[in-house]
Amino acid sequence: MKLARSINALRLAVAAAKKRGLTINFVPTMGALHEGHLSLIKKARQPKAFVVMSIFVNPLQFGPKEDFSRYPRTLISDLRLLRQAKVDLVFLPTPKIMYPEKTVIKVSAGPLGDVLCGRSRPGHFDGVATVVVKLFNLVQPDQAFFGAKDYQQQLIIRRLVTDLNFPIKIITVPTVREPDGLAMSSRNRYLSARERTIALNLPQALFVLQKNPRDFSRLKRELAATANLKLDYLEIVNSQTLLPVKSAKGQVVIAGAIYVGKTRLIDNVTARL
Ligand code: AMP
């Protein structure tokens, strides 16, 4: 497994792989890796593929009061996992390499970035779209892999490659959960044992709603009334527009975000109305 700490090293390694006729499969992450990230690698580990992972905690997608500085950084154990998972190349840029200037031209995620998580994290999806465009330009992958856990993010990336004409196939990988149903997340390690139990209320509500979407109002009320849990949002939305669905039939996403202590957690399931 090769490490690229500079843009030049990354470009040389990718060019060599392309010359060998390999498909470039790219998995962007912020590190603090878990089974969810590993499932993306497993999907990317195809015959004749060269698997590139990036680990970069992107300052542009964090708000001023969010957890950028304390976001878990676990590079040594991440690299051990990536070697076992047979990743070919890991790109490890610093903020200075990605954003050498004080100001930066940003990509706007548009209206899809203003709803759901975008409402409580203004500018977040512009930060995501900007770093992903940069990473796509640097890596020039054939395919890129994103988790369904961040449903809104993968939808925005799908629109981004269409609207900005990137010749990249986006592949969305199902959410990996702990045995008790909690979606795996780098932020789960912030939770105390007691907070972790409280966090389970979100997936449990989503699983009930997936079977009985008509219970929506009751479950939302119950979630909002749960002690030591602050409900950010719980919504049933159209899977393409992310706009609230009331009665229409079709594929919907039931998405929620909660705060447990200082930790913000998100989750979603898809359902047919
Ligand atoms: P992150 O490092 O949290 O930015 O996530 C990097 C990628 O891993 C994103 O595409 C996420 O959607 C994906 N991911 C994170 N958690 C999970 C999970 N539990 N299951 C599947 N994919 C995930």
Mean pLDDT, consecutive 10-residue stretches, the chain (273 aa), reads 98 98 98 98 98 98 97 98 98 98 96 98 98 98 98 98 98 98 98 98 98 94 98 97 83 96 98 87
How confident is the model at residue 249, as a pLDDT?
Answer: 73
In whole angstroms, give the CA distance from residue 134 to residue 98. 8
Pocket of ligand 1 (CB under 6 A): 29-30, 36-37, 39-40, 146-147, 149-150, 173, 175-176, 183-186
Active site residue 37: yes
**Ligand 1 atom 7 nearest Cα:** 29
List the residue whose alpha carbon is closest to atom 13 of ligand 1: 147
Sign of the Cα pseudo-torsion (219, 120, 182, 207, in order)? positive
Q: What is the reported pLDDT for 261?
A: 97
What pLDDT sits at residue 113?
98
CA of 247 to the centre of ligand 1 (A): 31
CA dihedral 227, 153, 26, 87 (to 10 degrees): 0
pTM beyond 0.95: the answer is yes
* Residue 272: per-residue pLDDT: 87
Catalytic option among 17, 27, 29, 37: 37
Please give the backbone phi and psi of residue 23, each rounded to the nearest 5 degrees, phi first: -85, 135
In whole angstroms, what separates CA 191 from the centre of its chain?
19
